[in-house]
C-alpha cells in the first residue's frame, strides 16, 4: 500500500441493460459484488479509494461502508459523464500531490498484478498521465486510441463521435488511468461537453494533457479479457466463466485435483491445499479455506465462511455455510452444516441437519460438536446446542439439549409391530 496513491472507482451508472432493480456494480460473481473485486484489487496498492455513486447511491454506499474501511463514496448528481464523475473528488483531493488511478466498478477481471505493472510503466516513463489500452479484433463500443504518425498517443475518440477511419482502429481505451494528480486536476474544470452525448468525457483529458505539453502515454495490456466490462446478464455469465477457469487453473497448478473442470465452480477467494480432490458438480462460493488431502463433492455446496482442516471429507449433496471443521472429520452425504464448529475425528451420518435458524426471531444459533463425536443418520441438531467430546447420537434423533462427554443420546419412539395389519386392511 502506498500513501501517495489513491483510487477513484466509477460506479454511478444505471446499467440499464441488466434490466434489474439492483445497481449494476452490486451484481455478484460467486456471491461477491463486481465492485468488491475492483476494490479488493486496489486495496494493497492505494491508501484510499473513492467510489463515485449515483444510481441507487444508498445501496452502493451501504455496501462500501460495511465492507471497506479505507474507501468512501462520493455522490455524482446529476450524472453528466465520466469526466464529470471524476471531478466530484476534486474537493476531497484538493491538496493531494500524489498519483490517482481511475478504474470502472464493473470490470471485475482486472488483476492486482496488472495494476502494479501499469503504475510501474507510468513511473518508469516519467508520465504525467497514462491510459491503459488493449487490442480487440472487434473493437465495437470501445473508445479508440488514436496515435500520432510517430506512434505517440494523440487522443481517445468515443465510438459515437468517431469517423469511419477511426472506427477501424483496433487499439481501444481500457478505461483505466494513472494521473499525477496535481498536474492533471486542472483538466476537470476545463472539459467541454460538445460531443454526441452532451457529456463531459474523461477521455478528453488525453488531448488536454497534450495541449499542456505534458507527458502522456498509453500502456498496452496484452490480456484484453482483464478489462471485460459487465453491461448485461450475458456479460456477467461470461465473466464468471473466465474467473472460474482462471481459479481452477491456479488450483491445479498448485496441486489440487479438479476431476471435472467443466462442472466445477470455485470462487477467487477460496484457498485449497495440495492433494485435495474436488469432485464434479461442486460449487464453492464466498471466502473459504480448505486444507490438504481433503475430498470435496461430488455435488457439494460450500456457501462461504467455511474453514476445513486437513484430511476431511465433504461428501455428495452436502451443503456447508459459516462453519469451522477440524481435521479427519467426515460429512458423508445429504447433510446441511451451518453456523457450526466441528472438532476432529467426527463422523456425520447421512441426512444430518444443523437447525440453525429461528424463523420467528430471525436469529441464527451455533452448533458445536467436540472431538470424536459420532452423529447417526437422519439427526436434527437444534441450535444452540453442544455435543461434548466422544458422545454418540443415535440415528433418527432430534437433539435440543447439550449432550455430555461420552454419552449416548437418542430420541427414538418405541417401535410398534402390528402383525397382519396390511393383509387385514386390504381384505376389508
Sequence-distant contacts of 12-17: CB under 8 A, at least 24 apart? 12/52, 12/53, 12/54, 12/55, 12/57, 12/76, 12/79, 12/85, 13/54, 13/55, 13/79, 13/106, 14/55, 15/55, 15/106, 15/230, 15/231, 17/231, 17/232
Q: Which of 55, 84, 301, 333 is catalytic?
A: 333
Q: How far apart are CA 72 and CA 185, in angstroms?
A: 20
Give the position of cell 487453473.
Answer: 249
Write the CA distances from 40 to 7, 241, 268, 289, integer angstroms.
Answer: 12, 19, 11, 18
Omega cis (within 30) before 78: yes
Strands 46-53 and 2-11: parallel
d(CA 221, CA 109): 13
Alpha-carbon distance of 83 to 279, in angstroms, equals 48
Q: Is 333 a catalytic residue?
A: yes
Handedness of CA 103, 108, 111, 112 (dihedral sign): positive
DSSP string for 107-158: -TT--HHHHHHHHHHHHHTT-SEEEEEEE-SS-TTSPEEEE-TTS-EEEEE-
Pairing of strands 257-258, 144-147: unpaired
Contact between 325 and 343 under an 8 Å Cβ cutoff? The reply is no
Residues marked as catalytic: 333
Amino acid at each position: 500500500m502506498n500513501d501517495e496513491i489513491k483510487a477513484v472507482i466509477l460506479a454511478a451508472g444505471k446499467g440499464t441493460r441488466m434490466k434489474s432493480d439492483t445497481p449494476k456494480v452490486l451484481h455478484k460473481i460467486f456471491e461477491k459484488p463486481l465492485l468488491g473485486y475492483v476494490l479488493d484489487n486496489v486495496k494493497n496498492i492505494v491508501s484510499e479509494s473513492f467510489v463515485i455513486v449515483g444510481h441507487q447511491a444508498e445501496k452502493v454506499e451501504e455496501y462500501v461502508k460495511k465492507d471497506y474501511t479505507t474507501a468512501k463514496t462520493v455522490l455524482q448528481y446529476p450524472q453528466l459523464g465520466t469526466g464529470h464523475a471524476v471531478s466530484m473528488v476534486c474537493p476531497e483531493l484538493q491538496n493531494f500531490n500524489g498519483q490517482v488511478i481511475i478504474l470502472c466498478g464493473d470490470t471485475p477481471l482486472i488483476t492486482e498484478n496488472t495494476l502494479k505493472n501499469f503504475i510501474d510503466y507510468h513511473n518508469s516513463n516519467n508520465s504525467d498521465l497514462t491510459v491503459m489500452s488493449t487490442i480487440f479484433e472487434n473493437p465495437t463500443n470501445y473508445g479508440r486510441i488514436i496515435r500520432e504518425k510517430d506512434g505517440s498517443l494523440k487522443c481517445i475518440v468515443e465510438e459515437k463521435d468517431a469517423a469511419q477511419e477511426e472506427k477501424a482502429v483496433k487499439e481501444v481505451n481500457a478505461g483505466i488511468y494513472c494521473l499525477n494528480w496535481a498536474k492533471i486536476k486542472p483538466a476537470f474544470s476545463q472539459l467541454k461537453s460538445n460531443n454526441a452525448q452532451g457529456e463531459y468525457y474523461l477521455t478528453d483529458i488525453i488531448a488536454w494533457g497534450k495541449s499542456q505539453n505534458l507527458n502522456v502515454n498509453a500502456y498496452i495490456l496484452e490480456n484484453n479479457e482483464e478489462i471485460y466490462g459487465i453491461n448485461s446478464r450475458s456479460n456477467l455469465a461470461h465473466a464468471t466463466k473466465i474467473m472460474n477457469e482462471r481459479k481452477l487453473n491456479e488450483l491445479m497448478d498448485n496441486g489440487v485435483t479438479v476431476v471435472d473442470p467443466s462442472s466445477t465452480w470455485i470462487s477467487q477467494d477460496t484457498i485449497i491445499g495440495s492433494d485435495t480432490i474436488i469432485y464434479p458438480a461442486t460449487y464453492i462460493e464466498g471466502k473459504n479455506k480448505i486444507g490438504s488431502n481433503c475430498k470435496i463433492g461430488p455435488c457439494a455446496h460450500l456457501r462461504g465462511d467455511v474453514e476445513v482442516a486437513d484430511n476431511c471429507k465433504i461428501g455428495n449433496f452436502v451443503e456447508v455455510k459459516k462453519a469451522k471443521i477440524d481435521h479427519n472429520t467426515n460429512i458423508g452425504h445429504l447433510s446441511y452444516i451451518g453456523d457450526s464448529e466441528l472438532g476432529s475425528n467426527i463422523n456425520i451420518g447421512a441426512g444430518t441437519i444443523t437447525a440453525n435458524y429461528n424463523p420467528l426471531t430471525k436469529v441464527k444459533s451455533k452448533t458445536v460438536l467436540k472431538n470424536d463425536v459420532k452423529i447417526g443418520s437422519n439427526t436434527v441438531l437444534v441450535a444452540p446446542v453442544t455435543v461434548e467430546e466422544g458422545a454418540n447420537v443415535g440415528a433418527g434423533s432430534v437433539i435440543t439439549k447439550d449432550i455430555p462427554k461420552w454419552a449416548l443420546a437418542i430420541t427414538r419412539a418405541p417401535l410398534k409391530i402390528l402383525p397382519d395389519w396390511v393383509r387385514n386392511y386390504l381384505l376389508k
